[in-house]
Chain A
Amino acid sequence: MTTAAPAAVTAPVPGDPPPRRRRISRDTVAAWGLLSPNLVVFGVFLFIPLLATVWLSLYSSSGFGPREFVGADNYTELFGDSTFWRATANTGLYALLTVPVSLALGLGIALAMNRPLRGRGVLRGIYYVPYVISGVVVAVAGRWIFNENVGVVNRLLRSAGLDGVPWQSDAVGAMGSLVLISIWTKVGFVMVVYLAGLQSIPKEYLEAAQTDGAGRWQRLRYVVVPLLKPTTIFLVVLGVIESFQVFDVVYVLTGGGPGNATEMLVTYAYAEGFDARRQGYAATIGVVTYLFIAVLTALWYRRQRAQEADL
């Protein structure tokens, strides 16, 4: 597709074909011209700060006052820092818990929603609403609802004669509440994207499978899910990137606690930068987080390319 596209613009105009080189350069100029506002914004407000962050990671700095060049010391310290590895493991665990579950739930809802049903628009809206709420509001509401002592969830459990769950004071409980809340916010978006994917599956495929005697489950397993694979891959990549950058919800909901049970890479970087005032070290955590995400994405990209080549 990509190779076919430029033909439209670079196609020779009949009658007066200008020399090829000039034609290319004119389109190239137009392309860069149209891209330039974006490139300026990205360049000035993301790449320069990113380079500044890489540079800062070589220094010991409180953010103000004199800074001291320390070479790779921050990186050496990072690799021996058990909190950093705990944050890495937590971030990975968070991704492993939220991404598959929200995908499975979102797909299930999309499948159920993909047929005529009274009130479907309202239901779709209800599932989608949590996605549009800001992370800060979600976390504040989460803190209130999952409050271990006076929250409605534990009060409900207790009035049912059960024990309250230690959502705040226990490592598993805290991660659990974080994951539940995150799934709550993500599932609506996943649903919409899968709905879109489902609508682009040609009906004939399903009918053909049905004629062949494939049951509901088999049609799902062998027709729908494989055809949705590009959608799934997209959602997985997006979900992993989001998970590795998770901040607002964690910062407000658990603050990384109890202990370091829900400390994530970015919350740890923030705490080091603005609480401990070790901006150089915080930059180091940020750079390594960026590299983690880049490597994960590159691995996915290569795998996808390899699979496309197999087809």
Chain B
Amino acid sequence: MISGRLSRRGFLGASAAGALALTGCGTGFALQRGDGTGSTEGRLSFTLWAGEAELAAFRTVAERWTATSGIPVAFNVVPFSEALTGVDANLASDRGPDLFRVTYQDIGIYAAGGALLDLTDLLPAGYVDGFGEAFVSAVQSGGRVYGVPHHTDTSLVLYDTEALAGARIPGSLDEAWTWEEFRSVAAGLPTGDAQFAFGVNWQLAGAYRWLNWVDQRGGRLLTDDLDGPAIDSRAGRDALAFTQAFFTDGLVPPTTSTKGSYVDELFTTGTIAMVFAGDFLLPTIDPAFVSAGREYGATFLPADERASADLGGNAVVATAQSVNPEAAADFLAFLADDEQQALFCAQATVLPTRTALLGERLDYAVRPDLMELFVEQATTITPQLSAQVTVPQFNAVNASMVDRLEQAFLAGDDPGEVLAALAEDVAGRLS
């Protein structure tokens, strides 16, 4: 009992001393420690999520810009899953950062809410003409430019070399698997306990990637003028029936539905033999395969009436609350110019959006041979599809797709009914 009390007293004493010492250091206990991420004069604040390689590249570019402009860039790195929660809270309090990173699918809601800086007249004349058409439309809203298309990424089918040993692996876009061929290749792979043919990367924010199948079949999510649903169509139903069968036939793990878990992990652990994966995952996937002594390759997405691929990647935007609009625009123009974009893409293994870089061979850090295929696949990102997934309300539409597709995939609901319900949701979200 005595020792108990002594140690308690000792503990309290130590706590108090420790707390005082820390307070003395003064780090986090000082009030008014500047404004955190809020925009203040004399520096640019930049909120972003980033993997290791990406962050290093961002820092390099920022240092170069600071060297000429004399303005420091303060990075605020946040976890991916909560990336925009803090941005939203800061914007709501009129203390948004100067710059933040945002997906092409989310940019619309910020632009529509008046949260973004209109860059149209702040960027150098003709600047946006240097980007591919699909990317420019992705950062535009009502004819105004609200961000720079920093990079893109898209998906390929990665496969375990050993598992696919007997199959025909398409070597060019023209030879890409047809839907039926893809299906029969998948069906020929061994399945069993915790062993599946493949997985598709349409989880959560990636649900829009399901639209690849619709687009490949010649269908659309939205009408041509983007103001109503067009998904409840023959092509939509075909695409949904085809993808739903992945689940009912046991080709994909049931955990990989739209609310499920990310598929790249299952590929590295050997649960699935093929994975639909974005280029930005190569730095994670590659070491796992190398250390396990396994090999993998990549081929193009299946094609039907036409080839089509998802518009991945991110833009960087400036906020309307920025007190440094000129500096912010200048930094964005620098960040996405040919040289800096080439550096970022090479280090982070993502794809360029600048037309000048599309034909160029970048010095990719991981599997440059596969990156060439990603670049080729990216040419099938169609402006029609890009325009649909970047309407202002797309984040809400995407949330509906997550829910509705899951009904088809896991509950086995009839594709026609699911799409009718989705169409109704979409109409509501767009209104």
Interface residues of A, Cβ cutoff 8 Å to B: 62-66, 83, 143, 147-150, 154-155, 158, 164, 166, 168-170, 255-260, 271, 274-279
Contact = CB atoms under 8 A, between A and B. Distances in A.
Contacts of A278: 396
Give chain B's interface secondary structure class. Answer: helix
Given A63-B92, A149-B271, A278-B396, A258 B257 contact: yes
> Which of A64, A150, A277 has most chain B Cβ within 10 Å?
A64
A278 B88 CA distance: 11
Contact of A164 (B193, B204, B257): B193
29 contacts: A62-B112, A62-B113, A63-B92, A64-B92, A64-B96, A147-B261, A148-B194, A148-B254, A149-B269, A149-B271, A150-B271, A164-B193, A164-B194, A168-B254, A169-B253, A169-B254, A169-B410, A257-B257, A258-B260, A258-B410, A259-B407, A260-B403, A271-B399, A274-B88, A275-B395, A276-B396, A277-B88, A277-B109, A278-B396
Interface in B2-46: none
Q: Which range holds the interface residue count of chain B?
A: 20 to 34
> Which of B84, B204, B259 has most chain A Cβ within 10 Å?
B259
A166 B395 contact: no
A147 B88 CA distance: 32
Given A150-B194, A259-B407, A276-B399, 6 more contacts: A164-B193, A169-B253, A170-B254, A255-B259, A274-B85, A276-B396
Contacts of B253: 148-149, 169
Interface in B58-91: 84-85, 88-89, 91
Given A63-B88, A149-B266, A258 B259 contact: yes
Contacts of B395: 275-277
A223 B55 CA distance: 65
A258 B89 CA distance: 29
A155 B194 CA distance: 9
Those 3 A-B pairs whose CB atoms lie nearest each other, nearest first: A65-B113, A257-B259, A169-B254
Nearest to B265: A150
A257 B259 CA distance: 6
Contacts of B261: 143, 147, 168
Interface in B181-199: 193-194
Interface of B: 84-85, 88-89, 91-92, 96, 109-110, 112-115, 193-194, 204, 253-255, 257, 259-261, 266, 269, 271, 395-396, 399, 403, 406-407, 410-411
A311 to B, nearest CB: 38
A143 B81 CA distance: 16
A274 B406 contact: no
A277 B114 contact: no
Contacts of B112: 62, 65
B194 A259 contact: no
B196 to A, nearest CB: 8
Contacts of A255: 204, 259
Nearest to A251: B81
A259 B406 contact: yes
A210 to B, nearest CB: 31
> Which of A143, A257, A276, A279 has most chain B Cβ within 10 Å?
A257
A259 B410 contact: yes
